[in-house]
Amino acid sequence: MSDMAIPKHNNAIEAMQRRQATELRRLEEQMQKQINKVKAENEKELARISKDYDVAFTQDKSEYDNKLNQMRQSYSKRLTEENAKYEVTIQELKQAQEARIAELRTNQEKEVNRTLDSHKEYMERAKLRFEEQKAKMEA
């Protein structure tokens, strides 16, 4: 090439490189804007999802707390009823035991009285026999 063509050619290459650099910068800015836009949308979506999760979690927690309290009240009421039944049963058993003990005492007293009466009768008969024997001996 001639000496004049080289600077023109170099100028053309430089101009083309500048256009390409400008185009690259423009594309880079566009891409950066798109990335920032997607990032902002993702952050908004993440905040919404996080908020929805927190709301759902709070609702579930409240629901389960209510159910737990209901169960506790139900079991407390049931425990109170069972304790009352237990106390009634214990009292009935104590009364039955006391009645059996009283009956046994009465039966034992009767048996002791019968034995004493039997011994008294035996002693009276023995005394009568002794008297008869004594009278026979004296006679």
Distance in angstroms (rounded) separating the CA atoms of residues 70 and 62: 12
pLDDT of residue 10: 84
Cα separation, 110 vs 98, in Å, equals 18
In the predicted structure, residue 4 carries a pLDDT above the cut 80: no
| Main-chain dihedrals φ then ψ at residue 29, nearest 5 degrees | -65, -40
Percent helix, strand, coil in the chain, to 5, is 95, 0, 5
Q: Is the pLDDT of residue 22 over 70?
A: yes
The predicted model scores a pTM of 0.48
Its sign, for the CA torsion 71, 73, 75, 81, is: negative
Predicted local distance difference test score (pLDDT) of residue 3 = 61
Confidence of residue 135 (pLDDT cuts 50, 70, 90): confident
Q: Is the pLDDT of residue 55 over 90?
A: yes
Q: Whole-angstrom Cα distance, residue 119 to residue 129?
A: 15
Query: What is the predicted pLDDT for the residue at 137?
Result: 85
pLDDT of residue 8: 79
